[in-house]
Chains A and B, each alone.
Chain A
Amino acid sequence: MNTIPWKPSPAIEKEIDKLINDLRRVVQQESDPLIAEYCPMLHQPDTMEYRKLVELTTKMTIVGRACCEVAGFPFDERRRSLSILYGVCCFLADSFIDDYGEAVAQDYLNRFEILLTRGWFEVKSDREKLFYIALSRMTMLRDIMDPMLRQAIFALYEAQRRDVMLRLNAITFQSLPRSKQLAMLKPCARDRGGHTIMVLIRLVAPHLSLDKHHAVYLAGALFMYIDDHGDCWADRRSGRVTYMNQVADPTLQLRTLFDTTISLLRTRIKPGHGRDLMSGFLHRYFTTRLEKHEQEKVRGGLSWAVYE
């Protein structure tokens, strides 16, 4: 593997290892009763899907903790619960959009728009029941009417809808010049990741200043680019077009994005444990997904990646 310009300190690396293990356990303890009650089908610890849910929620909880520390708030039990609930929601929303075909994705987006514009949600399955319950519990723990939070939630929905529309209009999209395709795909991934982290930060640390929002937004975008690079081969197999599986040299492009984002994080955010944790976890995510990408190149899109 090529050298990476910025690396977290060994102490932070060690702490991230411990934090991942500790939070993974907490995520399971806290989300298991909820999953078992509302979506028993998903509550099967040996399945890949359950493990993915736990990993994604653990990621969200670590990022939530880093955001809290950057904003100067303690990562207390309420904020941890919000991060976990949000992680469960993100996992389920991603699966509605990515795993069950275009018709299901479109149907979910239509009903989710009604939820966001009028408050009504037609629950059609146990997975959707779990999603709706996790959402309603979040509204118990945070003032959901905060203007920035409301904007972030709706912007995330719109980014998801744009992503699905690109897939639905694949033939028209492919007829566009390549430069235009990339110019559409890059902001699509940026917004999906950026608004995802904006929602999280408004849930756990709503008083963060605007200058930090920019750095955190780009960190969220980087998470999405890294995700898409890790899923590159699986996405290609299922015909899903992303910026990272279309760009000429994805590894080089991702390294450039990583370097610029880390540099911005370290300029805009004051030195401290929160910044080290965010940068360190991004580095962990980056390196493990580069490995996943290389493994899947050989194995064909099915390898499993955690954060160790």
Chain B
Amino acid sequence: MSKRRCAEGYRGLCMSSRGKSDKPFALVDQGALLLQRLRAENKISDDSLLRIDYRPEAENAPFVFDAATGVLHKKGCAGLKKDSRSAQYAVWTITKQDLSLACRKCKPMPKPEQTRPHNELTDIVFGVMSMLDQFSAVLGQRGKEFRVTDRGKAMERTFGSLLNNLDKNGNQGYAAAIKTLQTAIDSVNMYNEKLQPTKRKPAASRKKRKNNEGR
């Protein structure tokens, strides 16, 4: 893509004097509002959508930066001031440059091994799955309605002919892609199983537990 096209493409994403014709942003705007409306009308699950609040993660960070005093502490340092608690930020990694801010009591040092947990591929897959799960009712209904429209029918025909017209190599590639996807889904399922706090008990033990609870 040329520089000029890049710039124009970008301009489409920020606010411009073109206003209503700013299609990319208009779509995002409508999508964002629709999401909130669907939730308000109880058409989608009320589960958490996105959490900005970082307090649960901040608990595990090894350093604290006091923005009001400009001092960097180890977590739990006695030198952390109470009256600037509301100005303190959890910090995961520090550099040598930050040592000029180090608290003289706790003397924080860079720890290369302790870094902020990053998103893994599985987190992203789970993210996509959670979105599909949360919006499955709406998506399913939309899919059913769309399928019977002219555009939906045309698309169905296109998909069908696309699959039929795949040559031998294409078919092999398609099969390999499906297999890879299946392996990924199996891995995610296995991962999910391992993360479950309790596994479903056999019928006999469930019955036994029920009897115990009844006592």
Q: Mark A residues whose CB is within 8 Å of B.
A: 29-34, 36-38, 77-78, 81, 84-85, 115-123, 129, 132-133, 136-137, 140-141, 144, 147-148, 150-155, 158-159, 162, 183, 187, 190-191, 194-195, 198, 209-211, 213-215, 217-218, 221, 268
Contacts and interface: CB of A to CB of B under 8 A. Distances in A.
B58 A151 contact: yes
A85 B90 CA distance: 26
6 contacts: A33-B20, A118-B49, A150-B52, A150-B53, A210-B101, A221-B68
B180 to A, nearest CB: 28
Contact of B101 (A34, A137, A214): A214
A37 B20 CA distance: 7
Interface in B13-64: 13-20, 22, 25, 28-29, 32-33, 36, 39-40, 46, 48-55, 57-58
A213 B97 CA distance: 13
A153 B46 CA distance: 23
Contacts of B16: 30, 33
Contacts of A36: 19
Given A147-B54, A209-B98, A33 B83 contact: no
A119 B51 contact: yes
B52 A132 contact: no
Contacts of B51: 116-119
Chain B: interface secondary structure? mixed
> Closest 4 CB pairs between A and B?
A33-B19, A119-B49, A214-B70, A119-B50
B67 interface: yes
B10 A77 contact: yes
Given A118-B51, A136-B28, A155 B101 contact: no
B32 A133 contact: yes
B14 to A, nearest CB: 4
Nearest to A144: B52
A122 B87 contact: no
Contacts of B39: 120
Nearest to A268: B70
A277 B18 CA distance: 31
Contacts of B54: 147, 150-151, 154
A141 B25 CA distance: 11
Contacts of B22: 33
Contacts of B87: 155, 187, 190-191, 194-195, 217
Nearest to B25: A137
User: Which of B48, B50, B67 has the most CB atoms of chain A within a 10 A radius of its CB?
Assistant: B67
A149 B95 CA distance: 19
A159 B65 contact: no
B100 to A, nearest CB: 6
Contacts of A129: 33
B40 A122 contact: yes
B38 to A, nearest CB: 10
Contacts of B55: 154
B209 interface: no
A162 B10 contact: no
